[in-house]
Chains A and B, each alone.
Chain A
Amino acid sequence: MPEAGVGITRDEVAHLARLSRLAVTEEELDVFAGQLDVILGAVARVQEVAAADIPPTTHAVPLTNVLRPDVVTPCLDRDEVLAAAPAAEDGRFRVPRILDEEA
């Protein structure tokens, strides 16, 4: 990997910001790339000590198969729901147009 540490590049940060629809300035890219690099470095050190005899932790709670029966429960009131939205129309959430995508 290029640059310092275990590696996140400035370009990768810019790519992630774009995917996350975050407006990040040129200066911020430098700052975040540096900070994320430190975080990744810390995680990498944990990986180093994880020996073969230590099972990977997949979840903070050691449980499986937490399920609910297929039973209908009450919904929210639509007017209340839509009142919390930035915009609504015809009982639906109104959102800005989305470019370059097909529904």
Chain B
Amino acid sequence: MTTIESAADVAHRYDPVIGLETHVELGTASKMFCGCPTTFGAEPNTQVCPVCLGLPGSLPVANATAIESTIKIGLALHCDIASWCRFARKNYFYPDMPKDFQISQYDEPLCTDGHLDVVVDGRTFRVEIERVHLEEDTGKSLHVGGATGRIHGADHSLVDYNRAGIPLVEIVTRPVLGTGALAPEVGKAYVTELREVLRGLGVSDVRMEQGSLRCDVNLSLSPAGSGVLGTRSETKNVNSLRSVERAIRFEMGRQAELLDAGGRVVQETRHFHEDTGVTTPGRSKEEATDYRYFPEPDLVPLAPDAAWVERLRAGLPELPAARRARLAASLEASEFELGSMANAGVLELVAETVAAGAPAAEARNWWLGYLAQQANAAGVEPAELAITPAQVARVVALVADGTLSTGLARQAVDGVLETGSSVDEVVAARGLVRVSDVDALGAAVDAAIAAQPDVAEKVRGGKVAAAGALVGAVMKATRGQADAKVVRELVLSRLGAPG
């Protein structure tokens, strides 16, 4: 693959237009139209019944919780909620749905016309939401006989219908204009923010690696300033936040190269390859959109009345953007610092540490600094560390009252991380008490001078820098519990050197 031009360079000549379609598996206990469980990773075809297998005579009944979750998503995204809408049959021939159709929504989605604001590089981009609709997920096919588990060259396919019928919400944006060179970052920021909203609502576990959040990325280029929309590609299989950014970047470069050479972009579905970061063409559009939708005759219309919608609105949790605004005030942090904390996955932790009594700056330093390093070294998220925000606040308090030095505080944190004990237990068990008492240190200083008479002589002769060796010896003798500054002052005064 040739090197792809950077997004910044492409944006000089072309205006990128992005569009995102996100599928979210809802975290309901049972499926959308039947009572089968939705447990991830169950043995194939053990979570199926006549309804989700499409056996003759079976009838679907909609899951009330799934409807409410979809309305909540719509409300969180500032959408209008339809007062009346219907499910539709999407007809297609593919063995991932045993019925040979998927129950979806077509021209009457449950939620329409919303938006989600995202901040990139200090700029706010409003991503308009065209629709949020509810459908059922499909089964999973395993292609056998092909070299890569993909369909080409496959001899036959094996299908597991455990996933068929799990409630799936599709969130579709309008074309997002005006992002320029930031298109890849805006795309990633949108999916990131959407994931936070969905997680905050508690409607899905939003695990991209398990497929409960999946993303299709549409991209087109129009000549800079022309305002004429170009032909778009739809990239599927974009299943991590980083991939959203990479896929947009790759498509920008690919399409720019095509257009520069006088070619034209073909409207097609493409596949993103996680390993190489490139997209390749998938099926062509021919006939693919001929789904012959019609109103689902086995389900009656859905008519959420105002009282129902308002009850759901009243029960919405604080949304991430509102929470960040509130935290910005309480944490005395800039937008940039908030972004750093959010990206590092420590925003909540810092807020809780502050709530437990630590000054904002101290809480931020611990979580973004030493604790982030420890989490990184252990390959876990900061939130998964065996230390609570309250314990971090306790460490901060012990440093503030002079009980612990910074070095000792880190030892205390290490102890908590290793043993899961409380800060005070670790401090007591390991004897982590800062020695700043001049009398207690005096003996150690005298011993160090006696042990290194030649060094002491140099210091007496005015070579103050040599005192470091003596300070080091005292620190070693006190196992790091001495206050290095106090030790240095003691050494210099004992040897009559200027302090």
**What 0/1 pattern do residues 267 to 280 of B give for CB contact below 8 A with A?**
00101000000000
Question: Which A residues, 67 to 89, have Cβ-Cβ distances below 8 Å to chain B?
Answer: 67-76, 78, 81-82, 89
Q: Which single residue of chain B is at the shortest CB-CB distance from A103?
A: B141
Q: B300 to A59, Cβ gap below 8 A?
A: yes
Q: B45 to A58, Cβ gap below 8 A?
A: no
Question: Which B residues, 274 to 297, have Cβ-Cβ distances below 8 Å to chain A?
Answer: 282-283, 287, 290, 292, 295, 297
Q: Which residues of B contact A100 (CB under 8 A)?
A: 283
Please tell me if B303 contacts chain A, counting CB pairs below 8 Å.
yes
In the assembled complex, the Cα of A18 lies from the Cα of B91 at a distance in Å of 13
Q: A97 to B48, Cβ gap below 8 A?
A: no
Please tell me if A25 contacts chain B, counting CB pairs below 8 Å.
no
Q: Which residues of B contact A96 (CB under 8 A)?
A: 156-157
Known contacts: A71-B29, A102-B151. The answer to whether A93 contacts B95 by CB under 8 A is yes
Please tell me if B143 contacts chain A, counting CB pairs below 8 Å.
yes
> Which stretch from B58-66, B120-128, B207-215, B450-458 is at the chain A interface?
B58-66
What are 7 sample pairs from A and B whose C-beta atoms fall under 8 A apart?
A16-B292, A19-B91, A73-B35, A75-B49, A78-B45, A93-B159, A93-B161
4 residue pairs, one from A and one from B, having the closest CB atoms: A73-B35, A70-B65, A92-B158, A67-B64
Enumerate chain A interface residues (CB-CB to B < 8 A).
15-16, 18-21, 58-59, 61, 63-76, 78, 81-82, 89-103
Q: B156 to A68, Cβ gap below 8 A?
A: no
Q: Is the interface of B mostly helix, strand, loop or mixed?
A: loop
Please tell me if B419 contacts chain A, counting CB pairs below 8 Å.
no
In the assembled complex, the Cα of A65 lies from the Cα of B144 at a distance in Å of 42
In the assembled complex, the Cα of A89 lies from the Cα of B144 at a distance in Å of 11
Q: B156 to A95, Cβ gap below 8 A?
A: yes
Known contacts: A19-B292, A63-B300, A64-B300. The answer to whether A72 contacts B36 by CB under 8 A is yes
CB distance from B215 to the nearest CB of A (A): 16
CB distance from B415 to the nearest CB of A (A): 44
Q: Which residues of B contact A103 (CB under 8 A)?
A: 96, 140-141, 143, 150-151, 157
Q: B65 to A97, Cβ gap below 8 A?
A: no
Q: Which residues of B contact A64 (CB under 8 A)?
A: 84, 300-303
